[in-house]
Chain A
Amino acid sequence: MSKLAISVDDLSKKYGTGLAVSHAKFEVPLGTICGFVGPNGAGKTTTIRMLLGLITPTGGNGQILGEPITSPDKYLSSVGAMIEGPAFYPALSGAENLRVLATLGGFPQERVDQLLKQVGLADRGKSKYKTYSLGMKQRLGIAAALLPNPKLLILDEPTNGLDPEGIQEIRQLLRSLADNGTTVFVSSHLLSELELISEYLVMLRKGEVVFAGPIQELFDQQQPFMIVKTEREEDLQKIIEIAQNAGHKAHKRDGTAHIEGPAEWAGVLNKLAFESGILITQLSPQMPNLEETFFELTGDQK
C-alpha cells in the first residue's frame, strides 16, 4: 500500500497553445492536511480536475491512493471532492440532493441525515437548495464530499461564503478528519487559515509548482525580516539606504520599510538611524507568514 495519497509527476494540461498546468510534480503523504495555493488562473482547479478524472492530462502521470489517475474508477469510491464550489439541483431539497449522490455511489441513505447534522444543516435539510445562502450551499457541498467516508478529501475553496464562525467550524472539521486518518487536500485563498491547519503545501504559479513539501520547510527557506516605521515618511528611503549599505535587502511597502535580516540586527539599525537623525516609531522583527511567502514565491503584488 502506497504511503502517498497523491503523487503526480510531470503532469501537464495544454489548452490550445497555452499550458494550464506545466510539468507539475508533487507528493502528498497519507493522513496529512495539504494546502494547495496559487493566484487565480495558476492551474489549481485544472490540476484537481485531472486528479479526479474529469479532464484528461496532455502529459505526465499521477497516482491517487496508489492507483493511476487514468483509472479513476479504482480510487474515486474512497475520494470525496468539492470542485469549484458546490453544484446541486436547485429544485431539490438539500437532503434529496445528497440522496441522489448517495444512491449513485451506493452509500447508505442514513448517512445523509448524519452528514446534514455534521455540517450544521439538520434543520434545513428539507428546504430547497435554491433557498440556501452561499454558506449553506458550501456546507452542503462539504457534506456531499464526505458521503463516501473518504480516505482522501479534495476541497476547492471550501470556506467561500462562510462567516468567521463557519470558517472556524470547517477548520475544526478538517482537523478532526485528518486526526482520524483522512488526507485533506484543500485549496483556499485564505492563506492564514491554511497556515493554521496545513502540514504540507503545494504552491502553483502560472501552472508550475514553485514549492511542494512540508510547510515548515518553506518557512525555513525564508529570511526573517523587520518592519520599520519612521516619524517622517520621507525618512523611510534613508532607512532603506542604511539597510542596503549594510548588505540587507530592503524595500518600501504600504508606508513601511521591509528589511530582511535577523532580529538581532534591529538594535544596530536603531543605532544607525539615531546617528542619522531619524526617529523610528516602530521596529518589529518578524518571521515571514504564509501570505508573505506566497507573494514572495508567486511574484504577486500585495
Chain B
Amino acid sequence: MIRSIIRIFFAEWRKLRRPTLLLGTLGAVSFFSVLVSSVLFLMIDSPQGNGDRGVRITREMLSLSNGATQSFSSIGGLLGIVALCVFAAQTAQEYSLGTLRNLLVRQPGRIRILIGKLASMKTFAMVMTLVSAIISIGVSYALAGGKNVSTELWFNGDGRLEIAKTLLNVFLSILGFGIIGMVLGIILRSPISSISLGVLWLLIIENIVGALKSSTLNWLPGNQLSTIATGGSQNVSYSHALSLSAIYVSVALVIATVLFTKRDVSN
C-alpha cells in the first residue's frame, strides 16, 4: 500500500515538474510576492492604505517581531487561487485527456491514486509557500531600510517563531484552496470548468456577498482559508477559520473520494 502510494507520488511529480507548469507557477508566486511586499512598504505613507481592503499597516506595526511576515501572510489568498488552479487542472486533465484510464490500469487502487496525487500536490504547495516566503521576506527586508522600518525584532527568537508560524498558516491556507481545486476537478472533470468556477466563486461571488452582508464573512470558505494565512482577522478568529475550513475541506474530500472511487471511467 505505502509502496504504491510512493510510486504514485513520484509519477505525479514527473508531471508537476515540467518546466511550463513549475516555472510558470513559481513565476506567478514570485510576481504576487514581490507585488504585495512592495505595495506594503512603498505605500506605507499613503492615505489609501497599504494593506488588504485599504487597511493601514504602520511603521510601528511593521517593526514588531511579525513585521517580516506581514506581506507574506497577506499573499495567502492569492497563492491559494494559484494552488486552486494548479490542483484543479492537474486533477481534471486526467479526465479530459483520458489519461485516467491509463493510471487506473497501472494502479487500480483508486484511493491510493487519490492519496498519492494529494501527497505530491501537497509538496508542490510546500514549494510554492517556501518560494513566496523567501521572496516576500527578502523584498520586505530590502525595502524596510529605505522606509525607516526597524528590522531589529524580525529575526530574533520571537521573529523566527513568527516566521515559522506564518509559514505553517500560509501552507495550510494554500493546501485548503488546492484541495478545493482538486475536488472541483474531480466533480466537473474539466480543467476550464473547475478553474472558472473556483476563481469565480473566490474572487467575485465571495467578495460581492461579503460586501453586501458582512456577517457572511464568518462562513464563506475562501475567506476562512485566507484568514488562516493571516493568523486571524478583525471579523474572523483564527480558531474559527481553522475549524470551519477543516469541516469544508473534509466534506469536500469525502465527496471527491466517493466520486473518484465509485464513478465509472467511461471517457
- Secondary structure at the B interface, as helix, strand, loop or mixed, is helix
Quick check: which of B13-21, B78-86, B168-176, B208-216 contacts chain A, the rest being far away?
B13-21
Q: Is A96 in contact with B14, judged by CB distance below 8 angstroms?
A: yes
Write out the residue numbers on chain B whose beta carbons fall within 8 Å of the beta carbon of A73.
108-109
In this assembly, does A26 line the interface, its C-beta being within 8 Å of a C-beta of chain B?
no
Chain B residues 73-103 with CB under 8 Å of chain A are: 93, 97-99, 101-103
Beyond contacts A49-B264, A87-B102, A89-B99: 10 other A-B pairs, Cβ-Cβ < 8 A, are A52-B101, A52-B104, A84-B101, A88-B97, A91-B20, A100-B14, A103-B10, A103-B11, A104-B11, A106-B4
Q: Is B264 in contact with A54, judged by CB distance below 8 angstroms?
A: yes
Nearest-Cβ distance from residue A31 to partner chain B, whole angstroms: 21
Nearest-Cβ distance from residue A131 to partner chain B, whole angstroms: 15
Q: Is A88 in contact with B99, judged by CB distance below 8 angstroms?
A: yes
Nearest-Cβ distance from residue A282 to partner chain B, whole angstroms: 48
Residues of chain A at interface, number, CB under 8 A: 32
CB-CB under 8 A for A53 and B108, given A90-B97, A92-B15, A92-B18 = yes
Chain A residues 83-108 with CB under 8 Å of chain B are: 83-85, 87-92, 96, 99-101, 103-106
Q: Is A84 in contact with B98, judged by CB distance below 8 angstroms?
A: yes
Instruction: Mark each residue of chain A from 12 to 40: 1 if its CB lies under 8 Å from any CB of chain B, else 0.
Output: 00000000000000000000000000000
Measured CA separation A122–B53 after assembly (Å): 57
CB-CB under 8 A for A76 and B264, given A87-B101, A91-B18 = no
In this assembly, does A174 line the interface, its C-beta being within 8 Å of a C-beta of chain B?
no
Picked from A52, A55, A92, the residue with its CB within 8 Å of the CB of B105 is A52
CB-CB under 8 A for A100 and B11, given A53-B108, A55-B264, A72-B108 = yes
Q: Is A101 in contact with B15, judged by CB distance below 8 angstroms?
A: no
Q: Is A76 in contact with B99, judged by CB distance below 8 angstroms?
A: no
Nearest-Cβ distance from residue B52 to partner chain A, whole angstroms: 35
Q: Is A87 in contact with B98, judged by CB distance below 8 angstroms?
A: yes
Q: Closest residue of chain A to B107, judged by CB?
A: A104
Q: Is B14 in contact with A54, judged by CB distance below 8 angstroms?
A: no
Write out the residue numbers on chain B whose beta carbons fall within 8 Å of the beta carbon of A83.
101, 105
Measured CA separation A40–B240 after assembly (Å): 56
Q: Is B265 in contact with A81, judged by CB distance below 8 angstroms?
A: no
Write out the residue numbers on chain A whose beta carbons fall within 8 Å of the beta carbon of B266.
46, 49, 54-55
Interface residues on B, range: 20 to 34
Measured CA separation A184–B11 after assembly (Å): 28
Q: Closest residue of chain B to A148, judged by CB?
A: B106
Q: Closest residue of chain A to B8, judged by CB?
A: A104
In this assembly, does B7 line the interface, its C-beta being within 8 Å of a C-beta of chain A?
yes
CB-CB under 8 A for A101 and B102, given A91-B18, A91-B20, A92-B18 = yes
In this assembly, does A226 line the interface, its C-beta being within 8 Å of a C-beta of chain B?
no
Nearest-Cβ distance from residue B49 to partner chain A, whole angstroms: 41
Q: Closest residue of chain B to A128, judged by CB?
A: B18
28 A-B residue pairs with Cβ-Cβ distance under 8 Å, sorted by A, are: A49-B265, A52-B105, A54-B266, A55-B265, A55-B266, A56-B264, A73-B109, A76-B105, A76-B106, A84-B98, A87-B98, A87-B101, A88-B97, A89-B97, A92-B14, A96-B14, A96-B18, A99-B14, A100-B14, A100-B15, A101-B11, A101-B103, A103-B7, A103-B14, A104-B8, A105-B106, A106-B3, A106-B7
Q: Is B105 in contact with A79, judged by CB distance below 8 angstroms?
A: yes
Nearest-Cβ distance from residue B15 to partner chain A, whole angstroms: 6
Measured CA separation A85–B15 after assembly (Å): 21
In this assembly, does A144 line the interface, its C-beta being within 8 Å of a C-beta of chain B?
yes
